Structure 1
Amino acid sequence: MTSELIGILGFAGLLLLIGLRFPVGIAMLLVGFIGTGALNSFSSASYSMTGQSFEIISNYDLTVLPLFILMGTLAAAGGLSRNLYDAAQAFIGHWRGGLAGATVVGCAGFAALSGSSIASAVTMGRVAYPQMQRYGYGQRLSTGAIAAGGTLGILIPPSTGFVLYAILTEESIGRLFLAGIIPGLLLTCLFLVAIRVFAAFRPSESPKGERVNWAESFKALLKGMPIVLIILITIGGIYAGLFTPVEAAGIGAFLALVMVILRGQLTPTVTKNVIVDTLQTTGLCFLILIGASVFAPFVALSGLPAAISEWVAGLAIGPYGILAVILVMYLLLGMVIEGLSLMVITLPVVFPLVLQLGFDPIWFGVIMVLVLEMGLISPPVGVNCFVVKTVATDVELETIFAGVFPFLIAMICCVALLVAFPQIALFIPEAAF
């Protein structure tokens, strides 16, 4: 049996285990261990498992993950996200479809704190859905705006998707964070355009909200300033070279803690929930990273990356044609496999090919994360749609998937713009570094 065939069987086994609801990290650990043992020896497989696991958990750069997760959990527990939504609602809530637009803006702001799409969808869903229902918004627009707005959590820095990509490809976390700023703002604007178009065709499902006077708007803006200040300090500090991403994460978590304390909301129950949620999410992320660190050597030993690179490079469709094939593959796989897991599984094969084609790895990281976002709201998995279903229990899943369709079109437009104009993503990191 050739090494390439063993590699293919390994991927098939991995997908089978995931389909059987094995945790992705455990599935990769099993397949990586058995595959490395079959291709090399089980003593080297044991060394890979123990050595790589220790290297992951003792990696100082990975401290950024639990700190940013803690920052987002504190922001949600302290009600900072609700204040941001109220501020957005005060300024654009009186437009037709304005509450849906406020939801997207609120998700964008909360995403910049949490870095988690699921956290953004859950938190903003609990705040925004009852409000939109109270004003008579249609279920499609209400749930679609929440599900799509939540996807901004994986693109707007600090992003767990960028952190994971940087670790797997050995690229700069700071560069990736800066590269995601303009695309994140661009996608937010495209979402707002999608809402306006939807409202123009279906005005009965997107009524106007109450107009708020300037005094009330300014008051709401002041309440939302804590999130803005934390974002400016953390991301602005990285941009200015004042501190590293790890230090920025620590400062952000500390500032979020101070805000919650000053608001008098750090009760024993809230403290317990914040700690438990942070530990659970961190443990899940590290399990995936450990599994990836064992699975990646098996993929390299199988020779699959080189074989696939040679095959794809031989296709007479040019670099951008090959890029299109890769992106379509990610879009299709993202419909059935969770985005971060898909990144871990495929990057050992795809990333060498991207470098061989001459594409900028930072730019491709932004493109890849954006396409993975699309998988978060695409059927049949659409994790964010299932998350919104837990908030909007009276809405059918089919309605939620129908509601995200205009936002999927907006995301396709964003990908096209980034491919046509790479400087959208590269301008800030090139200027900073």
Structure 2
Amino acid sequence: MDPILLASLVIALCLLLLLGTGVWIALSLLATGLVVFHFFVPLDAGSIMASTMWDASWNWALTALPLFVWMGEILMRSGLSSSLFRGLSPWVAWLPGGLMHVNVLGCGVMAAVSGSSAVTAATVGRMSLPELTARNYDRNMMVGSLAGAGTFGLLIPPSIIMIVYGVVAQQSVARLFIAGIAPGLMLIVLFSSYIALWSKLNPDKRGDLPERLRFVEKLRASRELLPVVALIVAIIGSIYGGIATPTEAATIGIFGALLLAFLNGTLSREMVVESLLSATRISCMISFIIACAACLSIAVGFANIPRAAAEWVQSMGLSAGALIFVLTIFFLILGCFLEGISILVLSSAVVLPMIKAAGIDPIWFGIYAVIVIECAQITPPVGFNLIVLKSMTGRGIGDIAKATLPFLCILLLAIVLIYLFPAIVTFLPDLMFG
């Protein structure tokens, strides 16, 4: 058997065995890398692994990661969900679907300050689910729209997973952030359009009509949103305007989040300590996965698997569209068993040479990968948004996944749209950075 094919099979079997038996993802990646070195690479693994882990762990772009995670943890505990609901509900009351649009717009706003899908879904759902239930809205649409819109936390900047992609693909995090704005807004429009169409087709399930407010009353209610909007402008505007790097913008975001918690009366020593500890745990987990994935990537590189994969793509004569189709199926299968960051770092060593060989723009591919990984957040059995909503509603994962299926289809439609019209992704970063 060809040694490269044999090495690929060994990697797949090792990962299936280790992940299937419950070994930590990071340790599974590290152990698989050691196996590859031992059997397929005639070099000493010790010094190479040590230097690789060190290089992967001190990358400057990663400094933004714990800061954005901490900002999201502060905001989740700051009472932001009630402010979002009170500020947004008067403006969407007239739309078909009524307050159901708060799930979509609220997740869009929260995504712009949290960077995390699970935090976005949990924060918005904490307030919207009781309010929508009390107004007799359809439970399936209520849960499905929240699970689907919660994925905006991965796409709308600042995004934790974009930082990870920028590190593993050696791409500008600032360009990725800017590239995610237009696709994120497109998804908000698509989700709200579907809710409006569904409401028109199912008038008996649309819930109690909310009270209409005068324009002045809407403006008064919108005061609740002003601190959040100011925080979004401070973070994205500082990056967009070239005033701050993503790391510096994250620092601005933390100060803004602490100020927002102070204004809401939720700032306390206990809250700060809890948010800091939670952010530390999450950041360490992500960084450990990235470092161990780098070890597997270097082992895979020494085994010549990426070069062989790139040559295979060229020999097959696959068009860029055919390759994207195959990779979409591949990522969706992985998404049934792994969370987003693990999918990204696990596949990068083989997939990135493929897209380079196919002539695909790595910035465009980064946004595509994030949207596919958004799908992974709402596919059972390991869909983080499904798990979050299961804990909040008590419903089964299967029921929640079924309710979320239309929004999964919309995410897949978004992939088709950005493939047909790549300028949706590339226009803003090209305009800003040339």
TM-score by length of 1: 0.95
Question: Partners of 1:230 and 1:409 in 2: how far apart?
Answer: 32
CA shift in 2, pair 1:198/1:345, >3 Å? same
Distance 2:360 2:270 in 1: 49
Structure 1 distance, partners of 2:278, 2:330, is 33
Query: Are 1:187 and 2:187 an aligned pair?
Result: yes
The residue aligned with 2:271 is 270
* Deviation, structure 1 residue 41: 5.5
Say if 2:311 is the partner of 1:310.
Answer: yes
Amino acid aligned to 1:357:
A
Deviations 1:325-353 (A, max 9, x none): 12222123222322221111111111111
Amino acid at match of 2:228: I
* 2:103 is the alignment partner of 1:103: yes
Residue pair 1:36, 1:297 contacting (<8 A) in 2 also: no
Q: Distance in 1 between matches of 2:241 and 2:75?
A: 24
Structure 1 Cα separation of the partners of residues 293 and 9 of structure 2:
17
Aligned-residue identity in percent: 33
Q: State the Cα deviation string for residues 309-337 of structure 1 (Å, max 9, x = none).
A: 22232224422222221222212322232
Q: Matched residues in 2 for 1:419 and 1:45: separation? A: 40
Q: How does 1:158-177 map to 2 (within 5 A)?
A: 158-177=158-177
Q: Deviations over 1:329-384 (max 9, x none)?
A: 21232223222211111111111111111111101110111011112112333221
Aligned match of 1:9: 10
Decide whether the 8 Å contact of 2:67 with 2:251 is kept in 1: yes
Runs of 4+ residues over 4 Å off in structure 1:
none
Match of 1:76 in 2: 76
Alignment check: 8 A CA contact 2:380 2:397 kept: no
| Counterpart in the other structure of 1:211 | 212
Tell me the alpha carbon deviations over residues 259-280 of structure 1, each in whole angstroms, 9 at most, x when there is no partner.
2223332122212211121111
Question: Is the 8 Å Cα contact of residues 96 and 197 (structure 2) preserved in structure 1?
Answer: no
Alignment of 1:33-72 (within 5 A): 33-40=34-41, 44-72=44-72
**Is 313-322 or 162-171 further displaced after alignment?**
313-322
- The residue type equivalent to 2:314 in the other structure is A
Q: Is the 8 A contact 2:114 2:153 kept in 1?
A: yes
Structure 2: distance between partners of 1:130 and 1:324: 39
- Cα distance in 2 for partners of 1:60, 1:339 equals 22
1:181 & 1:127 partners in 2: Cα distance? 26
- Whole-Å separation in 2 of the counterparts to 1:138 and 1:187: 22
Task: State the match for 1:197 in structure 2.
Answer: 197
Question: What whole-Å deviation, never above 9, does each CA across 1:229-257 have from its counterpart, x for those lacking one?
Answer: 11111111111111111111111111211
Corresponding position of 1:130: 130
Q: Which residue of 1 aligns with 2:291?
A: 290
**Is the partner of 1:242 in helix, strand or coil?**
coil
Once the two structures are TM-superposed, the CA of residue 172 in structure 1 deviates from its matched residue by 0.4
Structure 1 unaligned blocks of 5 or more: none
In 2: Cα distance, 1:318 partner to 1:54 partner: 37
Matched letter for residue 431 of structure 1: L
Offset of residue 429 of structure 1:
0.5
Residue pairs, 1:221-300, within 5 angstroms: 221-300=222-301
Moved more, 327-336 or 273-282: 327-336
Partner of 2:316, secondary structure, is coil
1:368 and 1:77, CA in 2 relative to 1: closer, same or farther beyond 3 A?
A: same
Does the residue aligned with 2:325 lie in a helix, a strand or coil? helix
> Residue deviations 1:128-164, cap 9 Å, x none?
1111111111221111011111100000001111111
Contact 1:83 1:220 in 2 (8 A): no
Are positions 1:27 and 2:35 aligned together?
no
AA of the residue aligned to 2:200: A
Letter in 2 for 1:302: A
Q: Secondary structure at the match of 1:404?
A: helix
CA contact (8 A) 2:100 2:132 kept: yes
Compute the displacement of 1:215 (Å): 3.2
Amino acid in the other structure paired with 1:27: S
Tell me if the contact between 1:88 and 1:106 (Cα under 8 Å) persists in the aligned partners.
Answer: yes
Per the alignment, residue 423 of structure 2 pairs with 423
Equivalence for 1:117: 117
Counterpart Cα distance in 1 of 2:407 and 2:52: 40
199-208 or 143-152, which deviates more:
199-208
Q: Which amino acid aligns with 1:377?
A: I
AA partner of residue 178 (structure 1): I
